[in-house]
Amino acid sequence: MATLDKKNCKYAACYCEENVYHLCATLVESGQAKDLDKLFVIFISNPNKKVPLFRQQASTAAEGLVVWDYHVLLVQLESDAAASKGPQPQALVWDLDTTLPFPCEGTQYAKEALQATTLLLPPDFARFYRVVPALLYLEYFCSDRSHMKVPPWRPRAPHGFNSDSSKSESESGGGCDEETGGYSWSSPPPPWPPIQPKNSCGVPQHNLPCYWSLDPSLCCGTQALQETLQGRVQGGANSMLQHLGKPSEGQSEQKGPFDDFNCQRKQAEQSGHGHQDFRESRYGLVVSELDFLRFVLRLHL
């Protein structure tokens, strides 16, 4: 099967979260992935919004270095990764912003883009990863692009180079209408419409901060990560849909207790799970770099 050409993918510079959203669908439609079960959206960031990545096409520095506030890519696991070679297939990394092959073997990406085996990062630049099943990302992600709007009282600076552009309007004191308030864009918006929620269960119009918020205190254990990855590959989408209270194949589309967000919270609390824990499930799991390399990219370290 021919590899997907980058030129055939939707792309807008500095809107990696939207690029990856559309890439998920493109991979399935093109036959590069048989389904979404083996695709995982990966957010890379840290509390300081300073994460170094190499071999980035936006860079003019040595080795293609960019210190992003956050970055988003896609990982494809094992059996669907037809381009993988060798006795034990690796994960494939689909990064629309890299100068590395598209897709790229996990080993090569870890070595050249992350420099994970040779680079000792200072604590302020340590990378953390949010691992989100693509199915959930397509279901819940939404963005009004407010994080890319620059009020007239703030200097214009592009996303990715450690400006304050990673903040949303609510965080930076915005709120006036773009046209009447004199907003400009830190980077030109994509030509397609903003991604809006597909449901009405209380998901905000802009939940991007829920994905880029990465902190060491949020890191899950290795068992939870393994169960998530194995459950997605072996159990498929149905198990995750049932966890969220949505009917799986063969079940009727009748109204259930999870049809609105308040009912979701109530049932979660009754079952002994905190509201925050239950709500966070739709945003995936936060893991350390070591666990990302070992369990997501399947590297032997």
Catalytic residue among 14, 16, 24, 104: 16
Q: Which two tokens stand for residue 92?
A: 């494939």
Q: Does residue 75 contact residue 279 with C-beta atoms inside 8 Å?
A: no
Residues 6+ apart with CB under 8 A from 37: 133, 135, 232, 233, 236, 237
Our CA angle for 97, 53, 98, nearest 5°, is 20
What is the b/e burial string over 266-275, where b = at least 16 CB atoms within 10 angstroms of the residue's CB? eebeeeeeee
71 is catalytic: yes
Whether 300 is a known active-site residue: answer no
* Residue 95: active-site member: yes
Do 200 and 98 contact (CB within 8 A), yes or no? Answer: no
Question: Do residues 102 and 3 touch, judged by C-beta distance below 8 A?
Answer: yes
Cβ count near 300 (within 10 Å): 7
- Catalytic entry in 37, 69, 80, 95: 95
Determine the Cα–Cα distance for residues 128 and 5; give it in Å rounded to an integer.
29
Give the Cα separation of 245 and 41 in Å (integer): 22
Name the active-site residue from 14, 24, 37, 71: 71
Which residues are marked as active site?
Answer: 16, 71, 95
